[in-house]
Amino acid sequence: MILLLVSTLAKIGFVLALLLGIAPLLVWAERRQSSMIQDRVGPVRAGLPLPAPLAEFIRGPAAWGAKAVSFASFGFAALALIGGLYFLATYGSRPVTESGMSANTYFWMAFVAFLVGAVHYPLSWVVKHSVDKRNMLTVFGFLHPAADSLKMFFKEDFVPPNADKFLFHIAPIIGLIPALATYAVIPFGPDLYWGPDGDPLLHLFSVVSPEVIEQGAIYGTTIPLQVANLNVGILYIFAIAGTGIVGAAIAGYSSDNKYSLLGGLRAASQMVSYEVTLGLTLVGCFMVYGTLLLDGMVQWQVDNLWGVFVQPLGFILFFVAAIAEMKRVPFDAPEGESEIVAGYFLEYSGFKFGMFMTGEFLEHIVSGSLIAVLFFGGYDVPFLYSDGFHLADYVGFDIQLPHVVVVLIGVGSFLLKTFLFVFLFLQVRWTLPRFRYDQIMQLCWKIILPLSLANILVTGVVILMIQGG
């Protein structure tokens, strides 16, 4: 019972750290790129003055020290990898030294050394370039969003005199909470096998074969890397995410401002329209995977093929609809500064404004994670199984890995896929101009919706043909 409680709290902490840790990075990336495109001063100019000797030390010895550790780690990793390949070809997986070391041990040592080097090398670059020629500690402009976040706590909390006070205060909460709550059912890694009470680390540092898992011979507790495995699956995400529409509509209505009201109406109609389309674009996935559970969808892709190869049109339609659902460029009509000043949150200031903006950036992460889970196998890595990489058919040998390494690689794969799609969302925001509002609605109802229905029809026909054949 204590283990389940601790693991649940740890998973919740990981999700919150992921969401609230990446959101400031997205703010920095967006402001930095926007300032470059618009030829204006960006966040990199913000910084703290440092004494000249300290600035020189950071740019010189400190940076070179981190780089030396990195090169040494990479060198040790290369030697361990060569040793592991040699002993694997000579002795197989049997121990090769009196101390009981095997080829797998060498691979483990190489992996750890590579991780150390992979952390220190970018760290050396960050340390060196975090201080500019003005002896200002800029840290690439990260201090700017940090200062903005701090200032939000002290900004005046302005409330329009004739606004509906209760609705005005609750709207940002309704807009932020769904973005956090929807992540509860997203699996971010493979199952973690925890040993029995007498030996809790039994499985973590040993090789767990797929046959043992299939036979149910795992002793101890299985911890799914998912905050809540609800039986309604992805329907929970649609139900919770739909409440964000209410927050935008209430914010526009309660502000006693005509521009805010227009923004709230735009947001409500746009989000409702694309919410319908989002659901229909995934019906084909439900038909193929045969489940609504997100972990079941990932497992189907692990056993068969990534969803993007069986539902390519569904992926494209979902990607477009997700951008529109986030109300970001080119679908930011509810916030169009040139038309309605700032949309439904025009009258908000301070931390309430920050809650709206945080919710929008969190939606980037949630949408990127959903695309990774639904169409790119989630935490799946090609050729990686519970006991390591199966490469014998390609290079002549397999690489066995401890269970904890397999889990870490799976979590890293999920995060990498999520980051790639979040970056792609930002690239779209920096590239395309804003659509007119009527064009946004026509795209949904006249193009994406019919294509999603056609995708359902074609998917059903193909499934019937395969079953009939």
pTM of the model: 0.80
**Tell me: the pLDDT tens digits for 347-388?**
887 778 878 877 888 888 888 899 999 999 888 888 888 888
390: pLDDT strictly greater than 80:
yes
pLDDT in tens, 161-207: 887 888 888 888 888 888 888 888 889 888 888 877 666 666 777 77
pLDDT more than 70, % of the chain: 83
Q: How does pLDDT run across 251-308, given as a tens digit for each residue? A: 888 887 888 888 888 888 888 888 888 888 888 888 899 888 898 899 899 888 898 9
Amino acid at 228: A
Count of other CB atoms within 10 angstroms of residue 147: 12
Residues near 408 by Cβ (< 8 Å), separated by ≥ 6? none
Question: Residue 36 is encoded by which pair of tokens?
Answer: 């470059």
pLDDT in tens, 329-348: 777 777 766 677 777 777 88
